[in-house]
């Protein structure tokens, strides 16, 4: 008979497992993104979009190369590029490639790496962010008087992808699938956080040079 702990973990939905596992990372990233960019002014908003583009481009590249077709979210960087162009801003420099095994607190695993599990975790983070984007879009519309472009924040394709993904993540997951998806989700948050921290560092450096 399987241990009670394993049975309980297997009965928990993948979505519930992921939400619990990355709750702290989610809050940390929200604070970091707000500190590094925000959207209180037009320049703030352009900086926010630049961070989003820099972080998402390597993720989209990895998913396109490795994920099954049904786990490849709609491209967001092309929408962000459109918004940046409308704001008169340039595309940001490329950020480092995404590594789904690069988490801040866990060693790289030994043995077989299940790409589909990792793709599921990465897709879940990107798709779930569309929910937050809808809320940000309302704030941006209010602050910008409806004049700021919101092709990225208002993307319906990502919301549709999220709805399709929900059926898959709201079922029980095996321990292997839960662990692989969680590790990749943690890696996505770590990747975004590194991009946000790097942007903040460059901003402080630029300010010090002006002083």
Domain limits, the chain: 53-210
Listed in sequence order, the residues at least 6 apart from 36 whose beta carbon sits closer than 8 Å to its beta carbon are 47, 51, 196, 197, 199, 200, 203
The span from the CA of 128 to the CA of 162, in Å, is: 7
SS3 percent helix, strand, coil of the chain, rounded to 5, is 70, 0, 30
- pTM for this one? 0.83
The span from the CA of 179 to the CA of 118, in Å, is: 9
Question: Each residue of 120-178: pLDDT tens digit?
Answer: 999 999 998 898 899 889 999 999 999 999 999 999 999 999 999 988 889 888 888 99
- Answer for the pair 94, 57: CB distance below 8 angstroms, yes or no: yes
What confidence category does residue 200 fall into, taking pLDDT thresholds of 50, 70 and 90? Answer: low
Question: Each residue of 81-116: pLDDT tens digit?
Answer: 999 999 999 999 888 899 998 877 777 766 667 999
Count other C-beta atoms under 10 Å from residue 206's C-beta.
9
């Amino acid at each position: 008979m399987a241990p009670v702990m394993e049975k309980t973990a297997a009965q928990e939905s993948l979505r519930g497992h992921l939400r619990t596992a990355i709750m702290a990372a989610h809050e940390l990233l929200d604070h970091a993104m707000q500190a590094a960019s925000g959207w209180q002014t037009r320049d703030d908003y352009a900086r926010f979009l630049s961070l989003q583009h820099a972080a998402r481009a390597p993720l989209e590249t990895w998913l396109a190369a490795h994920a099954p077709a049904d786990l490849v979210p709609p491209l967001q960087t092309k929408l962000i590029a459109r918004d940046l162009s409308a704001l008169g801003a340039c595309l940001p420099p490329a950020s480092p490639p995404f590594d789904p095994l690069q988490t801040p607190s866990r060693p790289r695993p030994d043995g077989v790496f299940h790409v589909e599990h990792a793709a599921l975790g990465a897709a879940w983070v990107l798709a779930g962010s569309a929910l937050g984007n809808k809320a940000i879009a309302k704030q941006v519309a209010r602050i910008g008087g409806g004049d700021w472009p919101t092709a990225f924040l208002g993307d319906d394709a990502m919301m549709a992808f999220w709805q399709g993904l929900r059926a898959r993540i709201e079922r029980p997951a095996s321990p292997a699938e839960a662990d692989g998806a969680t590790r990749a989700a943690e890696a996505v948050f770590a990747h975004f956080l590194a991009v946000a921290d790097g942007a903040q560092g460059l901003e402080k450096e630029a300010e010090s040079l002006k002083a």
